[in-house]
């Protein structure tokens, strides 16, 4: 009988020896590692560098931080007013001035994200209340079309406005597909995935400003047709009631702020608020400001913003029981 046995492995490896990876396996590992490094770098840059480079992203990040810092009111402290909305509020409000003018009466905090609509803010406010945000008053600035819209900012809102528990309900209400819904979950956790469109627009604005301006103008001019007045009124009533309910459940006063416009469709939104006894301010009705106060069909210019800011201040002081300053 032989004292030892030889390996029958035709490759000549000894027993127990780990096989060497093939060149194809090594190349695949290298590619995967390289892609993982790129993704990690993109995520870090999106979280920390992009808000410092982009004025829009930086402003939204600052607004979000200040809004999320609003805690439960302390006895004796001034009331807190949280102004939320989209570009209609951004362009129509002189934010530093209203903070200064109202400083002795209230703390005014703005949280504005462009292209947001009802679903973004209904579920956004619900998430903020879950986190313990408790302003004295929430002032939501939307027009009629945005109030009845089934659209949402999607991935960006999933990152900045929604919590995990809001994603499935908002996806259902917006009629999203399974793919779109899974994208919301990914965007909630990934700053790069949520901001990829914003980053693309930033690069385009820097590389070719005239072309970017033309695209933005084209997007702003795309207005979805609205249904009949009766359907609009019913839908607006239901949605205002929903927001009023979540604010009331959390001890927060809700006020609808109707922005100025050149048309008269916002009158239906005011009617919906009256029918549901929803507090609302419509400080500049249709016909008060002419086209010279608007930069386009919807957004106020600098002169219009001065007038609208004065009107907002007057409304806030009345609601807070403060005498208007002269």
Q: pLDDT tens per residue, the chain (326 residues)?
A: 455 444 455 555 565 555 666 888 888 888 888 777 888 887 788 778 878 888 999 999 999 999 999 998 888 889 999 999 999 999 999 999 999 999 999 999 999 999 999 999 999 999 999 999 999 999 999 999 999 999 999 999 999 999 999 999 999 999 999 999 999 999 999 988 888 888 777 787 777 677 656 656 655 555 567 788 999 999 999 999 999 999 999 999 999 999 999 998 999 999 999 999 999 999 999 889 999 999 988 999 999 999 999 999 999 999 998 645 43
Complete DSSP assignment for 134-154: --SEEEEE--HHHHH-----T
CA distance 98 to 94: 6
Please tell me the total number of residues recorded for the chain in this structure. Answer: 326
Is 113 in a helix, a strand, or coil? coil
The pLDDT assigned to 238 comes to 98
Residue 73 Cα to chain centre, angstroms: 24
Confirm or reject CATH 3.40.50.1110 for domain 54-149+224-319, answering yes or no: yes
The sign of the dihedral angle between the CA atoms of 151, 279, 258, 134 is negative
The pLDDT assigned to 213 comes to 63
CA distance 166 to 182: 13
The sign of the dihedral angle between the CA atoms of 300, 306, 311, 313 is positive
Is 162 in a helix, a strand, or coil? coil
The pLDDT assigned to 211 comes to 60
Question: What is the DSSP secondary structure assignment for residue 9, as one 8-state letter?
Answer: -
Instruction: For the chain, count helices (H), then strands (E).
Output: 15, 5
The pLDDT assigned to 66 comes to 97
Q: How many CB atoms lie within 10 A of CB 231?
A: 11
The pLDDT assigned to 50 comes to 76
The pLDDT assigned to 321 comes to 87
Domain-wise residue ranges, the chain = 54-149+224-319
| The two structure tokens encoding residue 316 | 């806030």
Of 38, 52, 50, nearest to 194 (Cα)?
A: 50
CA distance 102 to 209: 37
In contact, 258 and 182? CB cutoff 8 Å: no
| The two structure tokens encoding residue 82 | 């949280």
Beta bridge pairs of residue 280: 256
CA distance 169 to 171: 5
């Amino acid at each position: 009988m032989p004292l030892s046995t030889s390996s029958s492995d035709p490759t000549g490896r000894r027993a127990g020896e780990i096989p060497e990876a093939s060149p194809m396996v090594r190349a695949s590992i290298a590619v995967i590692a390289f892609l993982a490094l790129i993704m990690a770098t993109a995520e870090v840059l999106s979280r920390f560098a992009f808000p410092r480079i982009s004025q829009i992203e930086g402003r939204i990040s600052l607004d979000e931080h200040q809004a999320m810092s609003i805690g439960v009111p302390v006895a004796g402290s001034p009331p807190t007013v949280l102004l939320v909305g989209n570009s209609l509020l951004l362009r129509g409000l002189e934010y530093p001035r209203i903070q200064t003018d109202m400083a002795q009466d209230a703390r005014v905090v703005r949280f504005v994200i462009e292209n947001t609509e009802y679903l973004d803010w209904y579920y956004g406010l619900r998430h903020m209340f879950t986190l313990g945000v408790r302003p004295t008053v929430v002032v939501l600035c939307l027009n009629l079309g945005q109030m009845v819209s089934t659209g949402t900012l999607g991935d960006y809102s999933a990152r900045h406005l929604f919590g995990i528990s809001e994603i499935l309900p908002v996806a259902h209400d917006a009629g999203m597909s399974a793919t779109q819904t899974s994208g919301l979950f990914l965007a909630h956790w990934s700053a790069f995935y949520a901001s990829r469109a914003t980053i693309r627009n930033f690069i385009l604005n820097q590389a070719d400003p005239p072309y970017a301006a033309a695209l933005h103008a084209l997007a702003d001019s795309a207005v979805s047709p609205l249904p009949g007045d009766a359907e609009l009124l019913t839908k607006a009533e239901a949605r205002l009631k929903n927001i009023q309910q979540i604010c009331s459940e959390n001890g927060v006063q809700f006020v609808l702020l109707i922005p100025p416009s050149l048309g008269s469709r916002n009158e239906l939104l005011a009617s919906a608020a009256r029918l549901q006894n929803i507090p609302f301010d419509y400080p500049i009705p249709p016909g008060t400001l002419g086209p010279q106060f608007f930069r386009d069909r919807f957004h106020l210019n600098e002169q219009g913003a001065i007038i609208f800011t004065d009107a907002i201040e007057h409304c806030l002081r009345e609601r807070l029981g403060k005498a208007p300053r002269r």
